[in-house]
Amino acid sequence: ALPTLAVVGATGAVGTVMCELLTGRRNVWGEIRLLASERSVGRRVRCRGEELVVQALTPEAFDGVQVAMFDVPDEVSAEWAPIAVARGAIAVDNSGAFRMDRDVPLVVPEINPEQVRNRPRGIIANANCTTLAMIVAVAPLHREYGLRELVLASYQAVSGAGQSGVDILHDQLTKVAGDRALGSRTGDVRQAVGDDLGPFPAPMALNVVPWAGSLADSGWSSEEMKIRNESRKILGLPDLKVSATCVRVPVVTAHSVAVHAVFATEVDAEGAREALRNAPGVILVDDPAAGEFPMPIDAVGTDPSWVGRIRRALDDPRALDFFVTGDNLRKGAALNTAQIAELLAKELRTP
Ligand code: 2RA
């Protein structure tokens, strides 16, 4: 029999993409149960060609469920993933609640699929969207050359902050549209967009904001710490040097990362391209002469990480510079979760 799947947070930004993905991917599931908070209960959602009614998130809702995907805020996962496990499910969690737990594997199926079996708590974690977009491209280069250090800057889309991030960007773009004088005087954009900044600390229209997440130690943001800690865990390199600057940009969906990667051995750009051409989950888009670069407007709605602008560093023969773009709601969230869950479905399938 095919296993039963629960999708917790089915009506949120990532949950919505999850239902689209479940419709398009090869079906490995028996029953699919959509769960959400009270205000979404009773909503009808199309998923895998069926019209499903959203049910309340209760302990009993997990009875008979073998795999439960969580696309909810950290505190909801922290409370409910253990409840799902106690009811017999394996939890695949897309929040930050368990990622750094020693007893919870952090799985990227293209990189460390064997880790799904190493789950003493019955929970498997999905990495943060910025880490995921980048790491799928970094791992094959690490296998080729031996990674020593990452220096990077992110260009993160507003949908990373949820639907309210997308809404505020569109509202602000409407407010600034047509005024060709805007952006030429200090404060003029702030004045035009007004006080409602949604989930961001500054206006997103006509701006970039060097901040994502919350304040962590010594001036680093939580988002910057996530990239560092998660890259180390996924690659199994506890001492990897990582310096990240996370920046929010006025893009709706698809996070980008400019990466300077230092390796143990000398690198060459063509060798790196070859490694990436053959890597799962990566598409090489690297022909600047033809105007072909990895960009959010092309990567959005697609599965792979788009990689390009690959150059050997001018001052270090062991370093590569490149640019990666990936859909933060797909590979960065729903797709990676679905891929992990599919590995479990294969393991659980009974003849
Ligand atoms: C962001 N990485 O882009 C976060 C979402 N998990 O804000």
CA of 151 to the centre of ligand 1 (A): 19
pLDDT one-digit tens code per residue, 242-258: 999 999 999 999 999 99
Write down the pLDDT at residue 207. Answer: 98
Ligand 1 closest atom vs CA 248: 3
Write down the pLDDT at residue 13. Answer: 83
Ligand 1 closest atom vs CA 212: 7
**Is the predicted pLDDT of residue 233 greater than 80, yes or no?**
yes
Residues 6+ apart with CB under 8 A from 289: none
Asked whether the beta carbons of 41 and 52 are under 8 A apart, the reply is no
**Is the predicted pLDDT of residue 61 greater than 90, yes or no?**
yes
**Is residue 127 in contact with ligand 1, taking CB distance under 6 Å?**
no
What is the average pLDDT across 9-29? Answer: 93
**Is residue 327 in contact with ligand 1, taking CB distance under 6 Å?**
no
What is d(CA 204, CA 224) in angstroms, rounded to the nearest whole number?
Answer: 19
260 is catalytic: no
Q: Ligand 1 pocket test: which of 130, 221, 325 has the largest number of ligand atoms within 8 Å of its C-beta?
A: 130
Q: Ligand 1 pocket test: which of 93, 94, 156, 245 has the largest number of ligand atoms within 8 Å of its C-beta?
A: 156
What is the average pLDDT across 14-21? Answer: 92
Asked whether the beta carbons of 111 and 135 are under 8 A apart, the reply is yes
**Is the predicted pLDDT of residue 31 greater than 80, yes or no?**
yes
pLDDT one-digit tens code per residue, 280-333: 999 999 999 999 999 999 999 999 999 999 999 999 999 999 999 999 999 999
255 is catalytic: yes
Residues 6+ apart with CB under 8 A from 296: 155, 157, 251, 252, 253, 254, 255, 256, 325
Confidence of residue 46 (pLDDT cuts 50, 70, 90): very high
Handedness of CA 56, 61, 66, 70 (dihedral sign): positive
**Is the predicted pLDDT of residue 12 greater than 90, yes or no?**
no
**Is the predicted pLDDT of residue 116 greater than 90, yes or no?**
yes
Name the residue with the closest Cα to ligand 1, atom 5: 160
Write down the pLDDT at residue 350. Answer: 75
Write down the pLDDT at residue 282. Answer: 98
Residues 6+ apart with CB under 8 A from 152: 134, 227, 242, 243, 244, 245, 257, 258, 259, 260
Q: Ligand 1 pocket test: which of 71, 223, 227 has the largest number of ligand atoms within 8 Å of its C-beta?
A: 223
CA of 326 to the centre of ligand 1 (A): 13
Tokens of 196: 């409602």
Handedness of CA 215, 218, 219, 223 (dihedral sign): negative
Tell me which of 47, 129, 142, 246 is the catalytic residue. Answer: 129
Mean pLDDT, all residues of the chain: 97
Confidence of residue 279 (pLDDT cuts 50, 70, 90): very high
Name the residue with the closest Cα to ligand 1, atom 1: 160
What is the average pLDDT across 176-183? Answer: 97
What is the average pLDDT across 213-237? Answer: 97
**Is residue 221 in contact with ligand 1, taking CB distance under 6 Å?**
no
Number of Cβ within a 10 Å radius of residue 188:
15
Write down the pLDDT at residue 349. Answer: 82
Name the residue with the closest Cα to ligand 1, atom 3: 160
